[in-house]
Each structure stands twice: as structure tokens, then as C-alpha cells.
């Protein structure tokens, strides 16, 4: 079974302004692809084109199912959790889930059984007959996730699935997303929570201003997006280290804490070899820039290093 | 089941179990009964005040005059002016009427009053006129046959030429009630539809639904669903009203219904619903809430009420220029043409042209609404301006 989702040279403009500009990526079955970018980068437009809610001006979105390329958007095989989401406030939970599953061609009796199973799994077993307006925000979020996956979709598109969730529920949802990927779903995930993306995603695709900035595995992106940084804890200062020619710049974070950014291309080994004799420090960590740092750099218009 | 029908079914079931809908369903007939009963009740309690007049009758017409006045005007004979005046001053009468011997010649009479209403004056004057005419005819020494001949009213009979149907007041009543009911159905269903589209945006459900169905399916489903809800409402009210009409009145209901042009009323009603529904659902997709609806949106809401401006001139002159214009103008034709047809039969040619214009307009409005709906449903947080809507209309097909 080889399922995949591919965006090929997809473009979209509104009122003469290009909001998605020749975007291409591919996600395979069992893989979680993180679609990242600052606000207004074109993520939601890209997702809406994948969903067939809007059509690309040029380029194609291809769904391959069981090795066969599908015609159009196989809506019944897709589970979608949009960023702007809600629930009918006056509807009952079970009634709503059965209706939404029905739109994906799931018969009512089957939908009810699946809904019960998911409600139990996500600690909502007692709320099947509750009205949506009686639910807390976190509960409603979980109902929305159930609505997106109740029909066992082969392609799952999650736009900010963790917003508004507490850490306990975040862990619960993370586990479910991993499980869905392990069962062979193609998962496209968009989120601003970089720590979660780092934890979950196998592949990352970063866009800004409608254009691709960087893509690949987390490791590849970190490699291509920046030099190492050295975090130092020392009561004696870092003057000696700061004078080294392989240091780009130094930031003081506190009385005894510093960050030294290494010049592009300098490896940790080279830095370690260059530490002068007698240089004293309590702690020293050499790390790649976090996804958060890369994201912030892109969002604020920083150049690729 | 197609997605359109799934949406329609959802809209129907959700609303049928909604408290507000059920309360509206039950309360509306009560309100309508109250609207009919309240004026009748007021009328019952608002009988004209009784007035008493002394009559100094030298013309000797008192018995005839007493017969000619309504019940609330009480006439009492007085021998002389002084006695009559004394009765008024003592508060026993509200005035006195002086009928001299010359009354039958001159028609002149005097009412000296302490209290009089315009209505009492008009009624008394009319009664005096009738008495005067009757007495004068008697004095002319004509035979009873001649008198009957002179006073017989004209008899105007309507005879249809070329087998055109004759006017029937019962048919007009049934047609008018049917048009009114369809109008109520269209306006209430249209408004509910608009609120439903608006709720879809407000509850942020649009994108969730649009990930499963096409925008046009969602729009069609809503239009059909709210139409069915309207029909259910109407059927419920008619089921209550029909037995009441049959039992409480002697109105020949079935004859009048079979004589009226119901297929035409239903055909134009359906088209009117589609046109209004498309406008309202498109409009709902451009609004964040009712309170902040802009002027242009308010104007669209008012469009279906335009027909009422034309009703009076159309009833007065059913084949005049105004009536013809309103029968062709698509935003009024679905009401005006059926009203006209009930009053004075409209030619098949006119019906065909009017239908063609209405169908064409409905198709265009549905297409525009579908475009606005597709984009509008995904725009959150504000009402759309006319400029934005114009921009949406020029977006490429999605």
C-alpha cells in the first residue's frame, strides 16, 4: 500500500498578489510532514488548495492511493482539522459526529460505534449526549479531532491541532497522531508550537511569503539553517572565548550565562580544540539553533546562513 | 444519499428539535389568531355611544324617522320646542330636532344640540334624507308599481367573453391568502437561511463542512433544507386553519381552491423562494452578525418586501403600466403576477415572458450567490464590504 500526497509547483494569487508561489512537497504514508511558516506565509491557502476548497491557479495537488493517482480530491479519504474551526453549539456531540461522519459516507450505526470508541479513548465517554455549548474549550478541541478522524482517513491534515490544549491533552493528541501515522496515514501538520513539531514531524517544509524557504528532516534543516551555538555558564566571564577568531558574536543572557555563536561552517570539534588553556567555565553546551530560532529568524526576515 | 440531501436533512432535523423553532411553530398561529380576534374584540366593546334627541315633529315623519336611524340614536317625541329644550337642559336629552311643516318642501331641519358626534350627525342626516325622499315620492301620487320602478337599483351582471373566466370574489380571497402564505414562507425561510449561513461562519463550521462537501452542495442543501422547514411550518398551520375555516364559517373553501389558479401561484412561489433564498444565503455568507449588517445588506433584505409597494396600484388597475412593470420585474413578479391573475386573468404570453425573466434572474442570482458563498464562508471576523464582494465575484472558479 503506497499512499502519498504531493503538491507540485502549486501557485495561487488573490487580487494580483501571489500568496502561494510554486510550492512543491511530498508526504508518504506513515510520515508526518510539518508545514511551517509565520502568519500570512501561505500555509492555510496551501492547505485549502490541498482540500479542494480553493483551486490552484497553476500546479497540481496529487493524491496517490494504493499506488494509483486519484482524480481530484478524495474527500472521503481525507481528515481535516482546519485552523478556523468550531462546532454547532446547539448540537449534541453524538448527533454532530454522526452527521460529520455521514458526510464522509460512514453509515450512522458504524459512525455511532466509532464515535463511542473515540470518545472513550479521549476521556469524553460521558459526553455523547451533551450539547456542544456545555463542553470546555479543550473538550471541544478533542471532539473536533474525532470529527476529523472518525472515518479512518488515509490522509490527515491538521492545522494547529494543539492550540488551546493543556499539556495533558497535548500529550494525548500527540500520541494519537503518532498512532495514526504508524497505521499508515499520510499526515500533514501545521503548527506554531515548534517544540511539538520537533517532537512529531519526520519532514519539515518551511514557507514564508508564499515561497519555500527550506525543507527536509529536522536535522537537515538545522544543518542548512545555521551555525552551532555555544551556551556557557561561568562565574569568570568569557573574554578569552569571545576573542577566538571562530566566534561570530556573543550574547550575554545573565550574570553568569552567555551564548557564543560560531561562524558558519565551524564544527564542534574545531571549537573544542581551540579553547585556550586555563579557560574556566562551569557548564558548556554546543547546540544547533532550535527550530524556534530558525522560525523566528525567518519570520523576522533573517537571511539563511 | 447525495451530499446536498445530507445537508438538507441535517438542517431540517436540527431545526425541528430546536426549541426556538418549535416555539415559533406553535406561537405563530396563536399570534395570528390574536391579530384577528383582538380587533373584533375591540369592535365588540367599542359600540357607538347612545345619544337621545327630542324631536319636535311638525312634519309628521316621526315613525319613518325612527325606523331609519340606527339603534344608538334614540328619538323621543316632544310636543313643543320649550319642552324639548327643557329636557336637554335637564340632561334628559342630548339635543332636539326641529322638523317644521315646510320640511317636506324645503328639506330644511335644525338640530339643536348639547352633544353630538360626527358619526351621529352623518347617520341622522342620512336618515332624514331617506325619509324626505320616501315622503316626497308618496306625495307625488304614483302607484306602488311606479314607485318600485323608480326606486329599483341597476342590476349589473358580468358575462365572460371568449370563455375568459368570470371574476369570483371567493377565488380572489383564496388566491390572496395563498400568495400571502407563500410570501410568509419565503420571507421566514429566507431569513432563517440567512441566519443559518451566518451561524455557519460564526460557529466556524464552514471549513469543516467544506472539507467534506462542495460549497455548492452546502448552499443547495441549506436552500432545500430551509424550504422543507418552511413547508412543514406552513403545512402545520394550514392543518390547523382549514378545519377552523370549514367548521366556523360557511365559506365555500374547496370550490374556491379548485377555482383558483393554484399551479401558477405555486410555480411563481417556488421561483420566488429560489430567488430570495439565493440572495439571502449569499448575503448571510458576507455577514459576521446581524447587528453590524451594512446598508447595502439591509437593502437586499428589504428587496422581497418591494412587492407591497405595488399591490395597491395593481389592485386598482390590474392591466395598467405599473401592474405590467411589476409583473415583469423579477423581484416583484412572483407576487404581483399571481395577484393580478386572481383579479383579472393574465394572458399566457405575459405569464411566459414573466416566467422567463424570473427564471433567468434566478439562475444569475444563484450563480452570483454561489460565488459569494464559496469565498464569504471562509472569511472570518468581519462583514464584507460591497467592494470586497465585487472582488470575490471576479475570483477564478474554485
Picking from B91, B115, B147, the residue at the C-terminal end of a domain is B147
| Residues contacting A116, CB < 8 A, separation 6+ | A125, A128
In terms of domains, do B261 and B332 share one? yes
Higher pLDDT, B391 or B331: B331
In terms of domains, do B186 and B290 share one? yes
Quick one: pLDDT band at residue A304, thresholds 50, 70, 90? very low
- Give the phi and the psi of residue A67 in degrees, each rounded to 5: 80, -5
Pick from A70-74, A76-80, B297-301, B306-310 the range whose average pLDDT is largest.
Answer: A76-80
What pTM was estimated for this model as a whole? 0.72
CA distance B276 to B299: 13
The tally of domains found in chain B comes to 2
Give pLDDT tens digits for B294-307: 566 677 777 878 88
Residue B65 lies in a domain: yes
Q: Taking the CB of residue B372, how many other CB atoms lie within 10 A of it?
A: 25
| Residues contacting B239, CB < 8 A, separation 6+ | none
Q: What is the DSSP letter of B251?
A: -
Residue B291 pLDDT exceeds 80: no
Least confident span in A282-286, A292-296, B214-218: A292-296
Scanning A201-256, the segments in alpha helix (DSSP H) are 218-224, 239-242
How far is CA A126 from each of CA A129, A145, B83, rounded to the nearest angstrom? Answer: 8, 17, 93
Measured between beta carbons, which residues in chain B are less than 8 angstroms from residue A78?
Answer: 211
Residue B356 pLDDT exceeds 60: yes
Residue B12 lies in a domain: no
pLDDT at res. B381: 61
In terms of domains, do B250 and B348 share one? yes
Residue B398 pLDDT exceeds 50: no
The Cα of B229 is separated from the nearest Cα of chain A by a number of Å equal to: 17
CA distance A225 to B42: 85
Give pLDDT tens digits for B250-261: 777 777 777 777
Residue B20 lies in a domain: no
Cell numbers 437561511: residue? B193
Q: Give me chain B's average pLDDT, please.
A: 83
In terms of domains, do B208 and B334 share one? yes
Q: What angle do CA B201, B206, B209 make, to 5 degrees?
A: 155
CA distance A226 to A219: 11
Residue B31 lies in a domain: no
Mean local confidence (pLDDT), A205-227: 84
- A53:B398 CB<8 A: yes
pLDDT at res. B294: 59
- C-alpha cell at position A37: 511558516
With 0-12 CB in 10 A as exposed, 13-18 as middle and 19+ as buried, what is B94?
buried
3-state secondary structure of B17: coil
Residue of chain A whose Cα is closest to the Cα of B397: A55
Residue of chain A whose Cα is closest to the Cα of B19: A90
User: Do A62 and A69 contact (CB within 8 A), yes or no?
Assistant: yes
In terms of domains, do B217 and B105 share one? no
In terms of domains, do B94 and B198 share one? no
Residue B7 lies in a domain: no
Measured between beta carbons, which residues in chain A are less than 8 angstroms from residue B396?
Answer: 55, 57
Residue B24 lies in a domain: no
CA distance A40 to A19: 8
Question: What are the structural domains, with CATH classification, of chain A?
Answer: 4-223 (3.40.50.300), 227-287 (3.30.70)
Residue B39 lies in a domain: no
Give pLDDT tens digits for A101-145: 999 999 999 999 999 999 998 889 889 999 988 888 888 989 999
Mean local confidence (pLDDT), B118-142: 88
* CATH code, domain carrying B113: 3.40.190.10
Residue B45 lies in a domain: no
Whether B203 and chain A come into contact, CB under 8 Å, resolves to yes
In terms of domains, do B130 and B215 share one? no
Mean local confidence (pLDDT), A163-178: 88
In terms of domains, do B273 and B192 share one? yes
Q: Pick left, alpha or beta for residue A9 (phi over 0 → left; psi -120 to 50 → alpha; otherwise beta).
A: left
User: Do B209 and A103 contact (CB within 8 A), yes or no?
Assistant: yes
- B205:A86 CB<8 A: yes
* Cα distance between the two ends of chain B: 24
In terms of domains, do B249 and B141 share one? no
- B6:A85 CB<8 A: no
Higher pLDDT, B390 or B54: B54
Residue A305 pLDDT exceeds 50: no
Higher pLDDT, A296 or B131: B131
pLDDT at res. B55: 93
Taking the C-alpha atoms of A130, A133, A138 and A144 in order, what is their torsion angle to the nearest 10 degrees?
A: 80
Best residue of A19, A54, A57, A111 to probe chain B, by most B CBs closer than 10 Å:
A54
- B3:A144 CB<8 A: no
CA distance A204 to A190: 10
pLDDT at res. A179: 92
Residue B116 domain boundaries? 51-147
Measured between beta carbons, which residues in chain A are less than 8 angstroms from residue B208?
Answer: 80, 82, 85-86, 100, 144, 147
Give chain A's radius of gyration (CA, Å).
23
Picking from B79, B112, B147, the residue at the C-terminal end of a domain is B147
pLDDT at res. B167: 58
Q: Pick left, alpha or beta for residue A228 (phi over 0 → left; psi -120 to 50 → alpha; otherwise beta).
A: beta
In terms of domains, do B247 and B173 share one? yes
ipTM of the complex: 0.77
Mean local confidence (pLDDT), B117-145: 87
Measured between beta carbons, which residues in chain B are less than 8 angstroms from residue A54?
Answer: 398
Whether A84 and chain B come into contact, CB under 8 Å, resolves to yes
Measured between beta carbons, which residues in chain A are less than 8 angstroms from residue B199?
Answer: 88
Residue of chain B whose Cα is closest to the Cα of A132: B203
List all residues of chain B from 13 to 32 with a beta carbon under 8 Å from chain A. 14, 18
- A90:B14 CB<8 A: yes
CA distance B394 to A138: 39
pLDDT at res. B53: 92
In terms of domains, do B228 and B296 share one? yes
Picking from B118, B147, B176, the residue at the C-terminal end of a domain is B147
Give pLDDT tens digits for A232-253: 999 888 888 888 999 988 988 8
Give pLDDT tens digits for B158-195: 666 655 555 567 777 888 888 888 888 888 888 888 88
In terms of domains, do B206 and B333 share one? yes
Pick from A83-87, A177-181, B18-22, B215-219 the range whose average pLDDT is largest.
Answer: A177-181
Amino acid at each position: 500500500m503506497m499512499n502519498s500526497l504531493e503538491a507540485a509547483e502549486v501557485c495561487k494569487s488573490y487580487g494580483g498578489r501571489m500568496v502561494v508561489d510554486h510550492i512543491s512537497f511530498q508526504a508518504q504514508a506513515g510520515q508526518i510532514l510539518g508545514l511551517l511558516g509565520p502568519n500570512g506565509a501561505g500555509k492555510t491557502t496551501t492547505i485549502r488548495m490541498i482540500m479542494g476548497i480553493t483551486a490552484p491557479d497553476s500546479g497540481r495537488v496529487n493524491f496517490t492511493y494504493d499506488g494509483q493517482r486519484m482524480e481530484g480530491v478524495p474527500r472521503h479519504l481525507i481528515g481535516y482539522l482546519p485552523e478556523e474551526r468550531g462546532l454547532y453549539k446547539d448540537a449534541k456531540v453524538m448527533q454532530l459526529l454522526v452527521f460529520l461522519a455521514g458526510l464522509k459516507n460512514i453509515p450512522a450505526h458504524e459512525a455511532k460505534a466509532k464515535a463511542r470508541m473515540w470518545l472513550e479513548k479521549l476521556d469524553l465517554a460521558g459526553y455523547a449526549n451533551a450539547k456542544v455549548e456545555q463542553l470546555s474549550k479543550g473538550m471541544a478541541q478533542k471532539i473536533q479531532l474525532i470529527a476529523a478522524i472518525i472515518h479512518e482517513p488515509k490522509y490527515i491534515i491538521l492545522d494547529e491541532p494543539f492550540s488551546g490544549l493543556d499539556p495533558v491533552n497535548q500529550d494525548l493528541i500527540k500520541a494519537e497522531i503518532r498512532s495514526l501515522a504508524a497505521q499508515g496515514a499520510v499526515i500533514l501538520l501545521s503548527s506554531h508550537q515548534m517544540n511539538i513539531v520537533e517532537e512529531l514531524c519526520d519532514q519539515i517544509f518551511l514557507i514564508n511569503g508564499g515561497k519555500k524557504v527550506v525543507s527536509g528532516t529536522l536535522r537537515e534543516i538545522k544543518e542548512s539553517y545555521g551555525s552551532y551555538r555555544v551556551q556557557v555558564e561561568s562565574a569568570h566571564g568569557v573574554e578569552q572565548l569571545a576573542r577566538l577568531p571562530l566566534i561570530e558574536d556573543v550574547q550575554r543572557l545573565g550574570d553568569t550565562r552567555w551564548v557564543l555563536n560560531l561562524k558558519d561552517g565551524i564544527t564542534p570539534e574545531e571549537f573544542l580544540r581551540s579553547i585556550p588553556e586555563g579557560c574556566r567555565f562551569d557548564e558548556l553546551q554546543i547546540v544547533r539553533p532550535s527550530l524556534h530560532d530558525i522560525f523566528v529568524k525567518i519570520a523576522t526576515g533573517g537571511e539563511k546562513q | 444519499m447525495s451530499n446536498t440531501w445530507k445537508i438538507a436533512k441535517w438542517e431540517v432535523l436540527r431545526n425541528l428539535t430546536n426549541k426556538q423553532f418549535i416555539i415559533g411553530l406553535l406561537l405563530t398561529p396563536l399570534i395570528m389568531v390574536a391579530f384577528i380576534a383582538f380587533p373584533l374584540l375591540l369592535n365588540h366593546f367599542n359600540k357607538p355611544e347612545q345619544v337621545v334627541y327630542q324631536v319636535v315633529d311638525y312634519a309628521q315623519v316621526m315613525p319613518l324617522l325612527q325606523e331609519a336611524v340606527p339603534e344608538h340614536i334614540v328619538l323621543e317625541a316632544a310636543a313643543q320646542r320649550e319642552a324639548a329644550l327643557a329636557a336637554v337642559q335637564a340632561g334628559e336629552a342630548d339635543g332636539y330636532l326641529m322638523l317644521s311643516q315646510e320640511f317636506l318642501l324645503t328639506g330644511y331641519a335644525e338640530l339643536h344640540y348639547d352633544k353630538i358626534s360626527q358619526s351621529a350627525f352623518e347617520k341622522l342626516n342620512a336618515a332624514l334624507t331617506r325619509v324626505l325622499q320616501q315622503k316626497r315620492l308618496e306625495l307625488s301620487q304614483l302607484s306602488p308599481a311606479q314607485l318600485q320602478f323608480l326606486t329599483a337599483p341597476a342590476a349589473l351582471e358580468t358575462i365572460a367573453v371568449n370563455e375568459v373566466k368570470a371574476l369570483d370574489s371567493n377565488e380572489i380571497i383564496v388566491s390572496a391568502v395563498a400568495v400571502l402564505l407563500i410570501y410568509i414562507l419565503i420571507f421566514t425561510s429566507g431569513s432563517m437561511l440567512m441566519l443559518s449561513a451566518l451561524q455557519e461562519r460564526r460557529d466556524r463550521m464552514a471549513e469543516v463542512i467544506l472539507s467534506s462537501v462542495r460549497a455548492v452542495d452546502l448552499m443547495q442543501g441549506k436552500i432545500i433544507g430551509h424550504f422543507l422547514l418552511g413547508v412543514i411550518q406552513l403545512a402545520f398551520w394550514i392543518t390547523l386553519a382549514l378545519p377552523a375555516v370549514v367548521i366556523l364559517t360557511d365559506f365555500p373553501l374547496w370550490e374556491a381552491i379548485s377555482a383558483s389558479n393554484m399551479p401558477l401561484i405555486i410555480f411563481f412561489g417556488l421561483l420566488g423562494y429560489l430567488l430570495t433564498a439565493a440572495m439571502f444565503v449569499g448575503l448571510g455568507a458576507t455577514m459576521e452578525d446581524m447587528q453590524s449588517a451594512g446598508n447595502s445588506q439591509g437593502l437586499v433584505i428589504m428587496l422581497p418586501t418591494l412587492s407591497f409597494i405595488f399591490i395597491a396600484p395593481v389592485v386598482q388597475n390590474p392591466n395598467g403600466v405599473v401592474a405590467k412593470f411589476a409583473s415583469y420585474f423579477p423581484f416583484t413578479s412572483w407576487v404581483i403576477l399571481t395577484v393580478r391573475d386572481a383579479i383579472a386573468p393574465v394572458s399566457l404570453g405575459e405569464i411566459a415572458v414573466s416566467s422567463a425573466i424570473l427564471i433567468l434572474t434566478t439562475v444569475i442570482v444563484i450563480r452570483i450567490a454561489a460565488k459569494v458563498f464559496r469565498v464569504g464562508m471562509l472569511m472570518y471576523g468581519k462583514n464584507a464590504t460591497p467592494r470586497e464582494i465585487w472582488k470575490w465575484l471576479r475570483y477564478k472558479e474554485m
